[in-house]
Every structure is written in C-alpha cells, then in structure tokens.
Amino acid sequence: MTRHIKEIIIKYVFFSFALVSIVVLGMIVFSLFREGVPIFKVVSLKDFLFGTEWYPTFDPPLFGIFTLIVGSLIVTIFATLLAVPLGVMTAIYISEIAPRAIKEILKSIIEMLAGLPSVVLGFFGMVVVAPWLQNTFDLPTGLNIVNASMILALMAVPTISSISEDALYAVPHEFKEASYALGATRFETIAKVIVPAALSGITTAVMLGMARAIGETMVVLMVAGGAAAIPESIFDSVRPMPASIAAEMGETPYRSAHYHALFATGMVLFFLTLAFNLIADYVSHKFKQTGSATP
Amino acid sequence: MDSNIIIKLNNVNFYYGNNRALTDISMTFRKNKVTALIGPSGCGKSTLLRLLNRMNDLIDGTRVEGEILFEEKNIYDPEIDPVEIRKKVGMVFQKPNPFPKTIYNNIAYGPKLASNNTGDINTLVEQSLKQAVLWDEVKDILNQSAMKLSGGQQQRLCIARALAMKPDILLMDEPTSALDPISTAKIEELIEELKKNYTIIIVTHNMQQAARISDETAFFYLGNLVEYNKTEKIFTNPDVKHTEDYITGRFG
Ligand SMILES: Nc1ncnc2c1ncn2[C@@H]1O[C@H](COP(=O)(O)OP(=O)(O)OP(=O)(O)O)[C@@H](O)[C@H]1O
Ligand SMILES: [Mg+2]
C-alpha cells in the first residue's frame, strides 16, 4: 500500500467518526422537530410562546408556555449574576494570585463541584437551602427562584471558572512583563492587561455556563417549586421549561397534544441553548481579531 | 557619588534558588551614556539588566546580595517600592511585546496609571511616538491594534511606550535581535538620538552593534564582570585576553 493511499484511508476513517456524531445530532434534532411541530395544528406559535396559561390537562387544554420561558430565563439570569463574579474571581485568583498550595486545593474543590451529580445538588437545595430560606425569610416555601438560582450558580461556577482559567493562562507572559516594566502594580496588570486579553475566553465561559444553567433539569425540577405562573418576587416558585418537560412527560399519552407541546417546549429550549452557543462563538471570534475588547 | 554616575553596584551577588547567576559585581553606569553589556549566552547579562528595575522580583526564589544605588538610594532597600523604580527605569524586551490594544492605548497605558490627572495624554502620545521615530508611520492609525504593526514598528512602539513614562534610564535587552537589518539600523539611530536625554543600558550579541552605538562596554563571563571600559578601548585594545578572544570570535 502506498503512503498516499494510507493517508486517504486515514482521512476517511477520521471523517466517518466525525460524521457519526453529526448524524446522531441531526437525528436528535429531527425527531425533536417531528414530535414538536404538530402542536402548532392545535395552537398558534404566538399563543404557544406568549400564552400565559399552561393547563395541558384541562378540557380544553391550554398550551401557553410563556410562564415556563420566564421561569427558565429568570433562574438562569439570577444564577448568572451569582456565578459570573464567583467563577471569574475564582479563576483570576487561581491563575494569577494564589500561592501554589492553595491553587491546587482550590482547583480540586472546583473539580469535585463539577463532578457532583445534579441530583445531589438538588437534594442539598431541598433539604438544606429550602428550610433555611423558609425560616429566615418566613416564606410559604423555600422551593423558589432564589433557591434554584443559587444551586444553578453552584453548577455553573466550575464551567465558568475552568474555562476562564484556561483563557487567563493563555495570556502571554510577555504582556504581564511589559505591564510590570511600566510601573503597573499586580492588580493594575490583572485589571488592565490580563483580563482584557482573556476577555473573549471569559465571555465564552460565561455563555457556556449560562447554557449549562438553562438546560439543567434535575435541579430546577427539585428546587424551583414548579408553579407555572409569572413570578412577582424572587421568593416565588417558578416552573422552568426542563422541569415541566421532565415532570409531565411520563404521564402524557404518546403523540397527544400535550406530548407534542412538551416536545415543542424542548425545541424552544434547544433554540435558546443554540443562541447562547452562537453568541459565545461570535464573541470569541470578534475579540480575537482586535486582540482586546478595550479600544 | 560622582554626579555623572546614575547607578552604582556594590558587590552584587544574585541567585536563582541555589544557583548563583552573578558573582560579586561592582560597577557604575554613567548618566546620558550608552553602556553595552556583552558576553556569551547564559553569562548573566539579562539577569543584571533585570536587577536594575527589579523585574527579577517577579521570579520566585530569587535572592540579591549587595547594594544597587540609584539616585543615592539602594533600590533593594525594603522601604523602596519596586513599582516606583520601574516607573523611572524603563525596559525594552528582546521580543517586541505590545499589548493587544490600540497603538494609542499602548502608549497611554503607563502614563494613565502613573498619574490621576490624565493631563495631556494626546500630546504625550504624539511626543513619544515622534521620539521613537514612529509617528509618521502611525499617526493616521492610532486606533488600530498594535498587533498589526510589523516587528520593527512594534519594537519602536515598545520604545515609545517606555519613553512615555519619561524614565531616567532605558534598559534594552537585545532589542534588535528579532529584527531585520533595516529596522535594526533605525533603532540604532534612535538610540544615538535618545542618549542625549536618557541613560541607556543595552544587552547585545552583536559586536558591531556594541561598537557602533555604545560609549562603554562591559564584558561578562559566567556571572563575572571580566572587563569594563570605554567601548573604543575594549574593541581596540582590551586589557584582558579573554575579552579579546570573545570580541574577535575566537570563542562563543
Ligand atoms: N528564571 C530563571 N530561573 C532560573 N535560572 C535562570 C533564570 N533565568 C536565567 N537563569 C540562569 O541564570 C544564568 C544567566 O542567565 P541570563 O538570562 O542572565 O543570561 P544572558 O547572559 O542574558 O544569556 P543570553 O545571552 O542567552 O540571553 C543562566 O545560567 C540561566 O540558566
Ligand atoms: Mg538574555
């Protein structure tokens, strides 16, 4: 066999492995759409997305998922507000400030956090955080937005901090030396040179952390409370999309309207996650070209 | 201290962990002169240069003995803030290392940190770029990323960036080793010009360059200062045989 033929074979072997994952992904998306789209024979796209009544088992059923979308977005946004400072600060501390021993300890703690099954975190939210919230703020239930956001934040922190950390490590040593040589302090160097140079990576980290939070099912199923209503306070319960799908899918008859509605909810979730990934991608490319976000 | 002397080293030893990189160095640097540091690779030239603006502080496990007097004060005195030293002693590195920011912001970076009145940064940027003979090439693209400049332009930008701090001393560690002959010539001309106002200490592996641009030359070998004298003397009639062998290329 000539070297040339060998190379062609190797190329196609790798290509077919890559193809497998693409094909599987395509099939998943296809079945999602096949099972989801029929709901629009029953309800218009507008009523589906913006209807605030989710009563899928009533007669006649009402399929408005706006409250579920709001539930998902609100816990994701609050989780992000908590997780970004925590995750980014941790990454900065680990990569730029911490002495070696502390750095190693912190890194393994974060890895452990990343490895915790979400059901364990959800359980923690249920039996520790919920009663505490309920007693401290005198609430009817501790299963609410605050609880879900905190637990989701805990899940997003490892994603955000480990990807940010890689981005910070990738900042060339020369930039730091240049900054110090100009009489900058360590904190000026971090704030004005290192973080801006790593900003595209940090933004990607945040986006991926958000994508992780919005798609997370078990935690929101266990601690968000499950109320399909527009919340009026951060201590209200919500019913994020994944929680709704997971809770209801077991009880819906195959290919009923309710079944299709849940798949269509999955489609919405899919598009939201896709959007986060596209933004992450766009941001990382945009900033890479100019090298920095600061003009 | 003689008013012509800007830096004075007294019995300086320097260690990376347990490895001694500089042995008992005593020497003085003269104001508004160009001093070249030469010697084979690993002899401690960069180490010495980085001692003068306390850049070696950034490396873990290093230790300095002896004293380095700058403006009559020992810069390694515990009361001295290295940040203040680095504002007065600028540095240009071997590899051009502009920040991934605009040309303007590269120059403005140091001055903006140094003073809270952002005074006339525009003038300062223009002045520094002119001093580094880069102004004409970049005056219309100040808001473009510095990363897009050529290597030679980037190095002149780094010089301009250091000059914007109005330092007393400019340290240059093989500033032209990554550049083509034309950019090198430009930077050498620039050094000629700058020595009217600055004290320049330059590390170079290029003997012709040392001979062309410096007033004094110091030859190092294995962490020792072997010979230090007027450049003319070093290159025509060195006192030490070792120096002559090195300069004439009889050993690397
Ligand atoms: N960061 C460091 N950690 C440990 N040892 C170092 C470090 N930097 C330099 N050294 C050692 O110190 C000695 C002097 O190094 P230095 O970089 O000062 O040499 P140099 O004269 O600048 O060489 P070159 O011409 O190759 O740049 C060398 O033996 C080197 O191995
Ligand atoms: Mg060197």
- Using the atom order of ligand 1, give the atom closest to the CA of residue B43: 21
Handedness of CA A246, A249, A255, A256 (dihedral sign): negative
Residue with the smallest CA separation from ligand 1 atom 22 is: B46
Look at residues A255, A250, A263, A246 and name the one whose alpha carbon lies nearest to residue A37. A263
Q: Which class for B95: exposed (0-12), middle (13-18), buried (19 or more C-beta within 10 A)? A: middle
pLDDT tens-digit map of A159-188: 999 999 999 999 999 999 999 999 999 999
Verify whether ligand 1 is closer than 6 Å to residue B3 (CB atom).
no
Q: How confident is the model at residue A288 (pLDDT cuts 50, 70, 90)?
A: low
Chain B stretch 59-78, residues whose beta carbon is closer than 8 A to a beta carbon of chain A: none
pTM across the whole model: 0.85
pLDDT at A290: 47
Q: How far is B248 from chain A (nearest CA, A)?
A: 34
pLDDT over threshold 90, residue A295? no
Say if residues A124 and A151 touch (Cβ distance below 8 Å). yes
Per-residue model confidence (pLDDT) at position A291: 45
Q: Which residues of A touch B165 (CB under 8 A)?
A: 182-183
Q: Which domains does chain B have, with CATH numbers?
A: 5-247 (3.40.50.300)
Task: Tell me, using a 6 A CB cutoff, whether residue B50 lines ligand 1.
Answer: no
Helix axes B151-163, A173-181, angle to 10 degrees: 30
The helix (H) or strand (E) run that includes residue A225 is: none
User: With 0-12 CB in 10 A as exposed, 13-18 as middle and 19+ as buried, what is B40?
Assistant: middle
A223 CA distance to ligand 1 centroid (A)?
Answer: 58
* B227 strand-pairing partners: B219
Which atom belonging to ligand 1 lies closest to the Cα atom of B203?
22
Tens-binned pLDDT, residue by residue, of chain B (252 aa): 577 899 999 999 999 999 999 999 999 999 999 999 999 999 999 999 999 999 999 998 999 999 999 988 999 999 999 999 999 999 999 999 999 999 999 999 999 988 765 568 899 999 999 988 899 999 999 999 999 999 999 999 999 999 999 999 999 999 998 888 988 998 899 899 898 899 999 999 999 999 999 999 999 999 999 999 999 999 999 999 999 999 988 765
User: Residues with beta carbon < 5 A to ion ligand 2?
Assistant: B 46
Is the separation of the CB atoms in A171 and A194 below 8 Å?
yes
* Residue of B4, B159, B172, B165 lying closest to B88 (CA atoms): B165
Question: Could you tell me how many CB contacts below 8 A there are between chain A and chain B?
Answer: 75
Strand partners, B73: B70
Strands (E), B71-215: 73-74, 89-92, 169-173, 199-203
Full set of structural domains in chain A with CATH: 42-286 (1.10.3720.10)
Contact A161, A91 (CB under 8 A): yes
The better pLDDT of the pair B131, A295 is held by B131
- The letter for the amino acid at B210 is A
Summarised one tens digit per residue, pLDDT across range A233-269 is 999 999 999 999 999 999 999 999 999 999 999 999 9
ipTM of predicted complex: 0.92
Q: From the CA of B59, give the closest atom in ligand 1.
A: 1
* Among B22, B45, B51, B95, residue to substitute to test ligand 1 (most atoms within 8 Å of Cβ): B45
Taking CA atoms, A294 is separated from A59, A103, A144, B89, in Å, by: 57, 29, 39, 27
B44 alpha carbon – ligand 1 mean position (Å): 6
Look at A178 and B98 and tell me if their CB atoms are within 8 Å.
Answer: yes
Mutate which of B18, B20, B22, B46 for ligand 1? The one with the most ligand atoms within 8 Å of its CB, which is B46
Instruction: Give yes or no for residue B43 CB within 6 A of ligand 1.
Output: yes
Q: Under an 8 A CB cutoff, do A182 and B165 touch?
A: yes
Contacts of B109 in chain A (CB under 8 A): 179, 182, 184, 192
- Tokens describing residue B142: 């100040």
Output the six-digit token pair for A222: 């266990």
Q: With contact defined as beta carbons under 8 Å apart, do B186 and B155 qualify?
A: no
Residue whose CB lies within 8 A of the most ligand 1 atoms, among B43, B91, B94, for a mutation test: B43
Enumerate residues 6+ apart whose C-beta is below 8 A from A283. Answer: A200, A203, A204, A207
Contact B113, A192 (CB under 8 A): yes
pLDDT on residue A287: 67
- The full length of chain A comes to 295
Cα A276 from chain centre: 8
Mean pLDDT score of chain A, rounded to an integer?
92
B154 lines ligand 1 (CB under 6 A): no
Q: Give which of A163, A213, A202, A169 is closest to A283, Cα–Cα.
A: A202
Q: Contact, A80 vs A209, CB < 8 A?
A: yes
